Amino acid sequence: MLKLIALQALAALIGVVAAALLFGLRGAASAGFGALVCVLPTAVFALWLLRATKRTGQAQTSAFFTGEVLKTLLSLVILALVAALYPGVHWGALVMGLIITLQANFLAFLVKP
């Protein structure tokens, strides 16, 4: 799970650099926020499952679904905070950063466990 987070962080960096080249500094910041919408909730979800696994020896289905709900809500809260606190957000760059970071999940099978 930690390798996935590292992969997402690498993809986030690629997205931020691409947005900086295409949209400038404002685009880079927006892409960074888009990446944060993906990376931070995934890290919280991984810690949630790790805690559940250490408590019972294996992650229960309820812990998984509770973690997924928490991850989704945290993603929505981050998006709402970005919209409210950063009025100069470049939405195209934010979505680009989010999508590039999400694509790291499809590359996770390349990383050996």
Query: What pTM, to 2 d.p., does this model score?
Result: 0.86
Model pLDDT, residue 51: 86
Number of residues assigned to the chain: 113
Cα–Cα distance measured from residue 108 to residue 8, given in angstroms and rounded to the nearest whole number: 9
Model pLDDT, residue 88: 92
Residue 23: how many CA atoms within 13 Å on its side-chain side?
Answer: 22
What are the residue boundaries of the structural domains of the chain, listed by start? 2-110
Cα–Cα distance measured from residue 42 to residue 108, given in angstroms and rounded to the nearest whole number: 13
Dump pLDDT digits (tens) for 65-112. Answer: 999 999 999 999 999 999 999 999 999 999 999 999 998 877 777 766
* Token duo for residue 24: 């400038």
Return the amino acid letter for 81.
L
Q: Are 23 and 93 in contact (CB under 8 A)?
A: yes
Q: Cα 92 to the chain's mean position, in Å? A: 17
